[in-house]
């Protein structure tokens, strides 16, 4: 009895195991569709001013040694980064930076 029953039981177990393996395989294959990519939430940080207006004004008046409301090239000379970008910041080409010019230069998005 046992000599006959044992192989059959083994066979049945093997079939059951194979079936469940197949089921798992099929399930794994069908149940994982490509999940749609989560929408990338663009943080508004790229458009928000990088410097607060108060900080801009403080820096501007610090550079504006003669307090005429403009930063001349001479006044900017002591500030390496400002001097370096002076021409680009001086959009009206009057050889002085207004607060508006300075502010827009400071908050201009960096281009690679
Ligand atoms: Ca000045
Ligand atoms: Ca100017």
Residue 44 C-alpha to ligand 2 middle, in angstroms?
Answer: 29
Give the number of whichever ligand sits closest to the CA of residue 68: 1
Residue 99 forms part of a structural domain? yes
Question: Does residue 98 belong to any structural domain of this protein?
Answer: yes
Instruction: State how many domains the chain has.
Output: 1
Is there a domain that residue 90 lies in?
yes
Output the CA–CA distances (angstroms, integers) from residue 51 to 37, 38, 46, 98, 103, in the order listed.
33, 31, 12, 16, 8
Give the separation between CA 99 and CA 10, rounded to whole angstroms: 87
Residues, Cβ < 5 Å to ion ligand 1: 64, 66, 68, 70, 75
What is the per-residue pLDDT across 82-97, written as a single tens digit (0 to 9) for each?
999 999 999 999 999 9
pLDDT, tens digit, 9 for 90 and up, residues 44-78: 555 667 899 999 999 999 999 999 999 999 999 99
Given this model, what pLDDT does residue 24 score? Answer: 56
| Ligand nearest to the CA of residue 72, numbered in listed order | 1
Look at residue 82 and tell me if it is in a domain: yes
Angle value at C-alpha 90, between 92 and 80, nearest 5 degrees: 170
The pTM for the full model equals 0.56
CATH number for position 95: 1.10.238.10
C-alpha 83 to ligand 2 mean position (Å): 13
Residue 106 — very low, low, confident or very high, per pLDDT cuts 50/70/90?
A: very high
């Amino acid at each position: 009895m046992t000599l006959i029953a044992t192989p059959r039981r083994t066979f049945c177990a093997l079939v059951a195991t194979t079936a469940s393996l197949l089921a798992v395989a099929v399930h794994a294959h069908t149940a994982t569709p490509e999940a749609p990519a989560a929408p990338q939430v663009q943080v508004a940080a790229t458009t928000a001013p990088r410097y607060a207006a108060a900080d801009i004004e403080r820096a501007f008046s610090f550079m504006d040694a003669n307090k005429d409301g403009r930063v001349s090239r001479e006044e900017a000379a002591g500030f390496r980064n400002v001097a370096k970008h002076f021409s680009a910041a001086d959009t009206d080409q009057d050889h002085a930076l207004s607060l508006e010019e300075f502010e827009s230069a400071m908050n201009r998005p960096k281009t690679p």
